[in-house]
Chain A
Amino acid sequence: MTDTLTIERAKDERPVTGRGAVRRRKRSSRPVWEEPPTTAGQTAKGLALGVVVAVVLVPLWIIVVTSLSTQAAVNRAGGLVLWPTDVTFEAYRVMLGDATVRNALLVSLGITAVGTVLSMVVSILCAYGLSRSGSVAHRFILVLLILTMFLSGGLIPTFLVVTELGGYGQYWALILPGAVSVFNILVLRAFYSSTSADLIEAARIDGAGDWRILWTIVLPTSRAVTAVVALFYGVGYWNSFFNVMLYMPTDSEKWPLQYVLLTYVNRGNGLPGSVNSGFGSQFAQTAPLSLQMAVVVLTIVPLLLVYPFMQKHFRVGVLTGAVKG
């Protein structure tokens, strides 16, 4: 047990990017003083971890397989398909041929892209602006930021402010109210503050201003944390549906993918009281199961595309936020 701890720590002290040598060295050696593992212990441990992995992966597997199945295979299975027999991309072809889904996909991608870029620019600037201790008013601004984590107007006052600013039915209402996450700013700031003061001082003597220092020194040395925060923002925008419910519940052509998922798949599939609000095309009240599952897959795919690249940086970002913030 102890040995794994040493590796963990060594890893944390290394620069966060790249996969260095420390990670691979003495991967499974056991300290001499530790007792050899018991068979029962090993089995129990393996079983428990196996369950954890299965609980996440099996539903995903079933959904992907069903989305790739023919109607005949779905009928034969009496619903979800557990094992692929005749694979077809028909569901995806039909789904992407449907204007509602195609539109929703574009809206989702657009909101995510615009929102993430905006949030990142605002957060990086603010985090750097607050990271140089001793600067004017940075304490005051910091307190102003942190207070919002405890005090908020809540749902209705925020809704009223956004609608009075004319946000009802506007895309910006899905982006601006949640564009700044104080938590994320604190994560970035913790990193920027730990950039070597000497390095920054040297750059300043060479005549670099704060904008230049941020761009050429601070940003390149904190790529990992930037990536993590961008992922957090991106996932937030990609996953949001509640703002849609608040600000554009009836404009179906402006809906992002998650709201379509909610309406067609979740509500359309047996939940009582669903409002079928006049969608034509192939997506009648109960779309074929493979089609529904294809929509589900569509909402996961972008995440799975970026996930492998971000995954190794998670702890860095989360921990600085949780521990230092």
Chain B
Amino acid sequence: MASESRIFVKGNEAVVHGALAAGCRCYFGYPITPQNDIPELMSKLMPESGGSFVQAESEVAAANMLLGAAATGTRAMTSSSSPGISLKQEAISYMAGSRLPGVIVNMNRGGPGLGDIGPSQGDYFQSVKGGGHGDYRLLVLGPATCQEAYDLTILAFDLAFKYQNPVMILGDAIIGQMKEPVIPWKPAPVDSNEASDWALTGAKGRPMRLIKSLYLEDGALAAQNIRLRDTYKAMEAEIRAESFETDDAELVVVAYGSIGRIVKSAVRNLRKQGKKVGLYRPITLFPFPAQGLRELAQKGKRFLTIEHNLGQMVEDVKLSMIGLADSDFHGHMPGSIPSPDDFEAPILSALERSAS
């Protein structure tokens, strides 16, 4: 974990550096704003580090290349933004069904449809509820700083292999495009045996292996889906969230990613005015850090969820605290980047409602 000198990079670039530090050997991508820095930097650094870079013909192909590389037990990644992630969902569902690890980065832009190229959190449902067909989940990590983009990308590779499941980094156009100092660090070298009990490498000296998601025999799919359910349950060991000024807060604002960070500034400003507000920022978006919210609800806190959309994570917030508390909601519409000031009025009005 020796730290090196700081680098000043965009969130997109931090993801690339994190992936390389994590031992990523293959990257497959397709251009889409606001994540183009990722394929661009990968096209230079991946071959330099002895790995493989392919600019695929489409997001569909890129995600299926990821599936192929993952089947060999290789650390591999793809990245995109909203419309491209929709196209990747076919392969992502197959990867989940085939129990294949891989890292998928989504720098969320405005939608639906072609939307715009600005930031949004409109892909929350698509990311944490499956996204493609069938009953599956991804492990989803939501960075709020460039440093976190670096750190969580490294974590994403480890977790993908630990749980043999695709992991998504859910950022947005803000985190992707902003530049910050990042302190790079080197994780422990990748264990060369990490996929040795399932990866396809050619059947030399052992019986053939088969990686598939087709289960036709009676009860076979049920057994597979129960294995998946158990995996998702086990992932709860990875739950992460940041609590900021929540101890004596009357109102806890729940927000993630870039919006979580902007809300943090708003909370800091309101604290200076003596307002008893705090922030709870989920970092793992699936599994959702429900327990932390329940504990806050048991202490009698009130809640406001703020998102860059019409209200998606708020459903998970409400479910987490069911029977204990409810949550107000404030949605900032895509198409503009909110400032901390934009959030002060909604936070104050929720605080007043709480008090009454």
Same complex for A and B? Answer no
A positions within 8 Å CB-CB of B: none
